[in-house]
A and B are shown apart, each in its own frame.
Chain A
Amino acid sequence: MIELENVAYSYGGGELLSDISLKLAAGSFHFLTGPSGAGKTTLMKLCYGALSPTSGTLRLFDKDVHTLDRDEIAQIRRRVGVVHQDCQFLDHLPVKENIALPLHVSDRSNEAETGDIDDLMHWVGLTDRAAALPPELSGGERQRAALARAVIMSPDVVLADEPTGNVDWDMSQRLLRLLIELNRMGKTVLVATHDLSLIRATKSQVQARVLRIANRRIQLAGADL
């Protein structure tokens, strides 16, 4: 799905990530952890083509990102669902339309009329909030709406960057359960979080691998978690 080979990324003032080699296989579940500023978000952005590596090879769905034009990047985003810590919406459209947005932009508007979206809204527990505007949602509701929007296209990969950053423990657990369900349905999931207790609480439910970014490099964390 997503392959990084000796990837490095620098923001101009020195390298943030060096020599990263990583392969996200289909159906895998990965946690990405590390201190703030270590480059978790940068790595996530590399994975959905928002950034291009400054060196090394990055393949998204077997295509080298350096060879992709802007429209091909857009096509890839339809196969990668992204949830940010501070997820953004179109604030003037109700939640339901925001969740259906990926369908509209990819010319599949007619699917927004079917019952699938209602099932999805029910799955994330937002059925009652369908007509609300995004600014009216609580932190947890925003995260769940973002998750629903990320998966409505039935993507192959779900990337979640600190999805539990703004929500309480119960809501974190609930979001994680949704991500685990997605993984059981065959999606590749990568969750960036600095919250180790969340990782521990999840390990019993899913075969997850934990990646740690330290000193600009990525390493597979051991069983010490």
Chain B
Amino acid sequence: MLASRDRHADRVVPPSGFTAQLTLFAAAAMAFLAVFALALSLASGRLAARWGDELARSATIRITAPQDQQSAQVEAALRILETTKGVRTARALTDAEQQALLAPWFGADLALDTLPVPRLIEVIEDADGMDPAGLRLRLAAEVPGAVLDDHSRWRAPLVSAASRLRTLGWTSTLLIAAVMAAMVTLAANAALAANAQVISVLRLVGATDAYIAQAFIRRFTIRTLIGASAGMALGMVAVLFMPGGNDETATFLTGLGFQGWHWITPLLVPPLAALVAFLATRMAARRTLETLT
């Protein structure tokens, strides 16, 4: 229907300068926003997955004990962990690693042995995960100085915030599509009303509804496609030049963008916008034409 065999169908509707530009502009603006909504959705989705996934697989046991009992307690804790279901590996951090962790706060030349620094044990869970409550009970019985931190306390709100953000992003994307449909419908209705004489002449000389509608549908679909393409291109450029961070400093804000195959998703915006315009114009045209003789 769009790859028209008959260019004449296009010409039967007079060109309309101002509304055409408004449609182009609105489509471009909506596509620009859609690119950001997509970037937000995909980035927060990535974040939720990473926080939920990686952090859930690790836990830390902190052992605070008098210096002379410390290594005994560490060994006791490691023994317990060896027999704990769901633990893949567990190892005490070396002095060097502990020092590296503390370096940002105390400087690199800190002498660990002069301070009552707790020992840390890194626990990596297997796919099934472990039972933190059970582990805590066993640790409390045998290693009084051990505290299990399975990160869930601060992980849970972050994961749910990221998931909520993702939901908001997708909702925004859908709303943008709906607004685009509403905007095209209004513009198409205005065009149909402004061209009432054209439509009545065409009906009089034997044009079918499909022929008349085609002229309007083509016009609005192509306009939306062009506008949305421009908006998408601008949106992608803007996302591309968002200041990013390296892996270690990447936070939510610097991670806002597309990664890998996600760069393809904004390319879907213009065709989807054109599809929305096509359907909206077709419905508007059918509704209007059916009221005419």
Contacts and interface: CB of A to CB of B under 8 A. Distances in A.
Contacts of B207: 74, 105-106
Contact of A105 (B14, B15, B211, B290): B211
Given A90-B12, A104-B12, A74 B201 contact: no
B206 A90 contact: no
B106 to A, nearest CB: 81
The 4 A-B residue pairs with the shortest CB-CB distance in the complex, in nearest-first order: A105-B207, A77-B206, A78-B206, A92-B14
Given A70-B290, A77-B203, A104-B8, A90 B208 contact: no
B8 A90 contact: no
Contacts of B209: 70-71, 74
B249 interface: no
Contact of A153 (B15, B206, B290): B206
A88 B8 contact: no
B203 to A, nearest CB: 7
A91 B14 contact: yes
Contact of B205 (A49, A50, A105, A109): A105
Interface residues of B, number: 24
Interface string B158-199: 000000000000000000000000000000000000000110
A105 B206 contact: yes
B153 interface: no
B1 to A, nearest CB: 14
A74 B198 contact: no
A88 B6 contact: no
13 contacts: A70-B209, A71-B208, A74-B203, A74-B207, A78-B205, A82-B204, A88-B204, A89-B201, A105-B12, A105-B206, A105-B208, A109-B6, A153-B206
A5 to B, nearest CB: 21
B8 A109 contact: yes
A186 B82 CA distance: 105
Nearest to B293: A50
B202 interface: yes
Contact of A75 (B198, B204, B205, B206): B206
Nearest to B289: A70
A91 B15 CA distance: 12
B99 interface: no
Interface string B28-51: 000000000000000000000000
Contacts of B15: 92
Interface string A198-224: 000000000000000000000000000
A105 B202 contact: yes
Interface in A49-106: 49-51, 70-71, 74-78, 82, 88-93, 97, 101-102, 104-106
A185 B208 CA distance: 28
B247 to A, nearest CB: 61
A74 B208 contact: yes
Interface of B: 6, 8-9, 11-12, 14-15, 197-198, 200-211, 289-290, 293
Contact of B198 (A51, A82, A90, A107): A90
A101 B201 contact: yes
Contact of B200 (A78, A88, A106): A88
Given A70-B208, A70-B290, A90 B14 contact: yes
A149 interface: yes
Given A88-B197, A88-B201, A90-B198, A104 B206 contact: no
Contacts of A107: 6
A169 B208 CA distance: 37
Interface in A148-198: 149, 153
Contacts of B203: 74, 77
Interface string A101-120: 11011110100000000000
Contacts of A88: 197, 200-201, 204
A82 B12 CA distance: 19
A174 B210 CA distance: 37
B182 to A, nearest CB: 27
B11 to A, nearest CB: 7
A51 B201 contact: no
A193 B209 CA distance: 31
Give the one of B204, B289, B293 with max A CB within 10 A: B204
Contacts of B211: 105
Given A105-B202, A105-B211, 20 more contacts: A70-B208, A71-B208, A71-B210, A74-B207, A77-B203, A77-B204, A78-B206, A90-B14, A92-B14, A92-B15, A97-B11, A101-B12, A101-B201, A104-B8, A104-B12, A105-B206, A107-B6, A109-B6, A149-B205, A153-B206
